[in-house]
Amino acid sequence: MAAEVTIPNLGYTMTVAKILKWLKSVGDPVKAGEILLEIETDKVNYGIESPAGGVVKLILVQPGDEVPVGGLVAVVGTADEIVDARHYAKKEAEKPIPEAVQSARPKEAGSSGPPPAEERRFVSPLAKRMAREKGIDLSLVSGSGYGGRVKMADVERYLGGPKEKKIEGPLLPQPPEIAEVIPLTTMRRKIAQRLAQSFHEAPHFNLCTEVDMTEVKRALAGLGEKGGPDEGAKISISDIFIKAVALTLRGHPRLNSRLNGDRIEIMRRINVGLAVALEDGLIVPAIEKADEKRLGQIAKERKDLTERARQGRLALSEIERGTFTISNLGMYDIIFFTSILNPPQSGILSIGKTMDRPVVRDGAVVIRPILEMSLAVDHRIVDGAMGANFLQDLKLGLENSVLLM
């Protein structure tokens, strides 16, 4: 019996996935568990495995298409099995898809119940949103997707061609000064939604201080190129900060917590995330139990997570397990900045570039490597004194390598 390949649910925020590429074509043999295609979600790129061995009989969507969670994308069967594409088209059309909109054709008087499948119009979430924003009557847009599904590209194509009719609301022409329009990727769109929500719903405040990095630089020099015989990864300033933050969080549990309704939940584990820049967004994989690990272990895991983040090979659990975030822009020659909270976490630390500066030590002016850092916290959970005490203890640990190590 033919096996259906559908879009899995990879997180409670996921509603739709974008098809990136197919690794198999119709007629290709496939093993159970072999990757058939890659999709892009709001958090990760993900390879969908074949649920059974056999031959790819049908491919129902193309790269660039957006498919809701649970949507059918392919069918795998035995080599001699006959698969009727019309059966699957009808099956998909009869699904109660939330994004479906009714045809503009009026029902006959006295009719009741849902219209026949051939009268329904199925629309991707992005296409539906664009049509609403541009004032487009979707009954006028021809769908090029599977089963006549209307995609964002169909709406864009309609915008570029002659219009038969439109619902009330002006259509704004593209200003001549715009050179290029870049549609938001699934990840970029989700970043925008999450950070806008965080900025407006979680009242932030920022605390800033300077750190004398003399002891950190001395510690790095003493550790050399490798973190240890078992780890084999070069230790960086980011690794030092991950370890220092994790140890400091032990004494400041409110900064390792989240707000859930009318209660504050202190997290059992200290999982420190490090923001990683991608080509069109960022992602925050977290090192689990960072306070319990050696610097060499942290360096090795940080390197692995960073590489897999840029390759789109992170597991969802590696992204969602973070309890506190660090953002380091020092390598981009940024001296100081503040960050927006990574929900639902209560704190994020921003660290800038280490620079040699004149400072006063024991009444004399000397040159020291100084780093500026800022702490953003959710004021619903953390008060000013709590945040200040955390920063003081973090600074103390960084400026005293004995305490840090």
The mean per-residue pLDDT over the stretch 363-373 comes to: 96
Q: Return the higher-pLDDT residue of 38 and 112.
A: 38
Strands 272-274 and 324-328: parallel
Mean pLDDT over 296-306 rounds to 95
Q: Is residue 96 part of a domain?
A: no
Q: Which entry of 84, 280, 383, 393 is annotated as an active-site residue?
A: 383
Average of per-residue pLDDT values in the chain: 82
How confident is residue 111, by pLDDT bands cut at 50, 70 and 90?
A: very low
Question: What's the rounded Cα separation, in Å, for the pair 397 and 216?
Answer: 10
Asked if residue 9 belongs to a domain, the reply is yes
Overall domain count for the chain: 3
Is 356 designated active site? no
Within-domain flag for 92: no
Q: How many of the other CB atoms lie within 10 Å of CB of 364?
A: 7
Over residues 95-117, the mean pLDDT reads: 41
pLDDT of residue 115: 43
Residue 147's φ and ψ, nearest 5 degrees, are: 70, 20
Mean pLDDT calculated for residue range 129-157: 77
Catalytic residue among 230, 304, 379, 393: 379
Together in a domain, 11 and 107: no
Mean pLDDT on 112-130: 58
For the segment 168-178, the average pLDDT, to the nearest whole number, is 61
Give the residue among 74, 67, 77, 64 at the shortest CA–CA distance from 99.
67
pLDDT at 112: 43
Same domain? For 37 and 79 the reply is yes
Indicate whether this model's pTM tops 0.75: no
The reply to whether 280 falls in a domain is yes
Of 290, 291, 289, 251, give the one whose Cα is nearest residue 390: 251
Residue 93 has what pLDDT? 54
Mean pLDDT across the stretch 358-375? 96
Report the pLDDT value the prediction gives residue 290, as an integer from 0 to 100.
97
**Amino acid 155: pLDDT:** 82
Percent of the chain with pLDDT over 70: 81
Lowest mean pLDDT among 101-110, 143-152, 270-279: 101-110
**387 shares a domain with 363:** yes
Residue 205 has pLDDT above 80, yes or no: yes
pLDDT tens-place string over residues 228-276: 545 668 899 999 999 999 999 999 999 999 999 899 999 999 999 999 9
Q: According to the model, what pLDDT value does residue 121 have?
A: 58
CB neighbours of residue 389 within 10 Å: 15
Per the model's pLDDT, the better-predicted residue between 77 and 289 turns out to be 289
pLDDT at residue 101 greater than cutoff 60? no
Confidence of residue 359 (pLDDT cuts 50, 70, 90): very high
249 and 391 both lie in a single domain: yes
Q: Are residues 9 and 42 in the same domain?
A: yes
Pair (226, 328) in one structural domain: yes
**Is the CB of residue 166 less than 8 Å from the CB of residue 141?**
no
Same domain, 147 and 293: no
Domain CATH number, residue 172: 4.10.320.10
Q: What is the pLDDT of residues 49-64, one digit of tens each?
A: 899 999 998 888 889 8
pLDDT tens per residue, range 125-135: 677 777 877 77
Residue 337 predicted with pLDDT over 90 = yes
Instruction: Kindly state whether residues 191 and 107 are assigned to the same domain.
Output: no
Domain boundary among 168, 183, 198: 183
Same structural domain, 49 and 124:
no
| Judgement on whether residues 261 and 355 belong to the same structural domain of the protein | yes
Owning domain of residue 380: 187-404
Q: Confidence band (pLDDT; 50, 70, 90) for 89?
A: low
- Of 161, 183, 205, the residue that ends a domain is 183
pLDDT at residue 165 is higher than 50: no
Q: Are residues 264 and 365 in the same domain?
A: yes
CATH number of the domain that residue 240 is part of: 3.30.559.10
Residues 49 and 167 in one domain: no
Q: What is the pLDDT of residue 3?
A: 87
Of 348, 350, 351, 391, the C-alpha closest to 256 is 348
Is 383 known to be catalytic? yes
In a domain, 90, yes or no: no
